Structure 1
Amino acid sequence: MPQIEQKVEKKKIPLNFRIIRWLFPKVEKISLSLSGKMFVYFFFKVFRLPINSRDKALLDQAKQQTLKINGYDIQVYVWGEGKPILLVHGWMGKVSQFSKFIEKFTQEGYACISFDLVGHGKSEGNRTHLLEASELILEIQKQFGDFEMVVGHSLGGVASLLALTKRKFSKKLMMIASPAIANEILDGFCRNVNASNKNYPYFLSWVQNQLGRDFYSFEAKQLVEKIEGVDLLLAYDTDDDQVSEENPKVMKQSYPSAKVIYTSGLGHNKIVRDESVVSAAYDHLTKSENSTAPIEKKVAAI
């Protein structure tokens, strides 16, 4: 498959993360119970990204409305008219990351719908999790009906998959740079905050007690086995420092009909804006379209 060589994105570590990284090892030495609580708190804590001028320009082009979901005001955006596509951003992501998708699909006569996850963008809250994200998707679907395709980046892809295990509202799903292996997620978080796996028992117990499910049951490689008749496209970058190349492999093993595309040099986030990825998404959609109602009838109240 063709691969695109570009410079891998460089990341700056925010001050708050530097403080957390300094603090974690010290707290672990004092009390694993306390560090376990810290682990849970920061695992679900969202550090809201600012809305810059480029983001604002894109968002201002959309029809906007606020929906009250699970007690939070959730900001929803709609670009264009026609058959609907749902775009779901990832953890500490932005709706504006889908700018190339929005440009392409609206030009082709589709409506693009997206929303800010809890604690992101203009939506309320400051902590969230995968289960809550999937619940938002299901509520958005109640508002707009079925979608021609759902596109999710990173956690947004897994949340979309989880939602589809509960209700089949689209026959096509594209997951971009989505983690599929629970241990990789935990290990990656440990590296980010400079914590150790000594905190895992507390964390896993908390998830079971508070969310009512085993943490590993949220693995994409397990969830994908629970969907049927969904045309799945996976996109991964070989230079992603957050999601290893093992992830598309296990997804393909769990769902053999899935199609996989690779890019190089884009990393975890820039892949969403890559034109070849957008083109692959459009080809995936138009290969054999579903028959859902045009969106102009569903957003008349916006």
Structure 2
Amino acid sequence: MSSKIYFSQSKRFNVRKSMVNMTTRLHHVLAPKHAKKTARKILLTPVRSHQPSSLPENLLKKLVETSEGKMMTYQLGSGPIWVLGHGWSGSASQFFPLMEHIAASGYMAIAFDNPAHGQSEGIYGHLPGFIKAFDDVLDALEEPIAGVVAHSMGGAMILESRHSALEGKPVLLVAPVLNYTENLVTMVERSGYSSKLFNELIDDIAVEYQCPFDSINPFVRLESRQSSAIIVHDKADKFASFELSQQASEMKHVQLFATEGLGHGRILKSPPLLAAFDKITQSA
């Protein structure tokens, strides 16, 4: 979904809610096919972030063929592999500080830009497409992985994946969106966008990817996992529910590293995240 909708918290945007609702509903009635095409552009087009001018030393970039197009991957270090997945309107470059720490700790870090993000191919982005690309990136690896790190919507991606490479592997979740479907519906409703049009768009994706929207439940997937998991989450996160991470920490295999003043994005460059990685590798 467009970052203007997904990340909007402003009152000004809410004032326009009724106008957006009326316009999109009328569009849907008068020109249903064009309305759905427009909805796809508005709701499924992420913001492509620019790559930093300074890259980590010895970083290797490689395009990997997937069912979602060519995905740009980034590799740093050597040793057991940790795969990193970013969230909506993010990119692998957000992980560069953590990747340097992973490499310095004797591991190989492999991150990738999701479909329609960063330097990967694609125009539209959505969770089923994220999962397909992620699974294909895992298939392309020549060695088994040691674990996975994911931020925001990337947490839903790895938890919803059924790839065999993930079985028994530790997971480090950063500001995860554990109530993905509820969060998405709430954001669309807040925008005022036609719910009927949104539901039709979601149904089309569900059919194409054989992934029913109501079957997506990252919290339940986390609960059903047997391997260890650590969540790093800021108490004042505005975009992903800290309360749900607290609830998840009541699971026997889940530990929570709560932070303050880091928000949803800055947490990716924080010492608590590095400490959490050290912790999960020591206990793995």
TM-score of the alignment, normalized to the shorter chain, above 0.5? yes
Give the one of 208, 211, 220 matched to 2:209: 211
Deviations 1:257-300 (A, max 9, x none): 21112111111111111111211122111223xxxxxxxxxxxx
> 258, 263, 270: which one pairs with 1:262?
258
Deviation string for 1:149-171 (max 9, x for gaps)?
Answer: 200001111111122x3324351
What's the CA shift for 1:201? 3.9
Equivalent position SS for 2:145: coil
Match of 1:4 in 2: none
Match of residue 45 from structure 1:
45
Q: Could you say if the C-alpha distance between residues 85 and 117 of structure 1 is closer, same or farther in structure 2, counting changes exceeding 3 Å?
A: same
The answer to whether the 8 A contact 1:47-1:126 is kept is no
Partner of 2:158 in structure 1?
Answer: 160
What is the SS of the residue equivalent to 1:104? helix
- Residue number among 200, 203, 208 corresponding to 1:202 in the alignment: 200
Q: Residue in 2 aligned with 1:241?
A: 238
Q: Which moved more, 1:193-202 or 1:258-267?
A: 193-202
Task: Tell me if structure 1 keeps the 8 A contact 2:81–2:147.
Answer: yes
The one of 221, 224, 245 equivalent to 1:223 is 221
Query: Does the 8 Å contact 2:64/2:140 carry over to 1?
Result: no
Q: Is the 8 A contact 1:105 1:112 kept in 2?
A: yes
- Select the residue among 150, 168, 171 that pairs with 2:169: 171
| Counterpart in the other structure of 1:251 | 248
User: What is the one-letter code of the residue matched to 1:282?
Assistant: D
Structure 1 gap ranges (5+): 1-10, 289-302
1:275 matched to 2:271? The reply is yes
Instruction: Please give the residue correspondences for 1:119-134 in structure 2 after superposition, counting only pairs within 5 Å.
Output: 119-134=116-131
Deviation for aligned residue 1:118: 1.0
Q: Aligned-residue CA RMSD in angstroms?
A: 2.9
Shift of 1:114: 0.9
Tell me the amino acid that sits aligned with residue 49 of structure 1: S
Contact 1:237 1:264 in 2 (8 A): yes
SS in 2 for 1:66: strand
Q: Which runs of 5+ in 2 are unaligned?
A: 1-6
| Residue 115 of structure 1 pairs with residue 106 of structure 2 | no
Deviation at 1:196, TM superposition (A): 5.6
Q: Deviations over 1:69-118 (max 9, x none)?
A: 11511111111111111111111112121122112111111111111111
C-alpha deviations, 1:232-252, integer Å up to 9, x for none?
A: 111211111111223214534
Native 8 Å contact 2:51 2:93 kept in 1: no
User: Which secondary structure does the structure 2 equivalent of 1:148 belong to?
Assistant: strand
What is the one-letter code of the residue matched to 1:195?
A: Y
Q: Aligned residue for 1:286?
A: 282
> Contact 2:178 / 2:241 at 8 angstroms: preserved in 1?
no
CA deviations on 1:48-85 (whole Å, 9 max, x unpaired) are 1222324xx23x63112111111511111111111111
Q: Which residue of 2 aligns with 1:68?
A: 65
Distance 1:134 1:71, change over 3 A: closer
- Say if 2:94 is the partner of 1:90: no
What's the TM-score, normalizing by structure 1? Answer: 0.77
C-alpha separation between the residues in 2 aligned to 1:198 and 1:147?
41
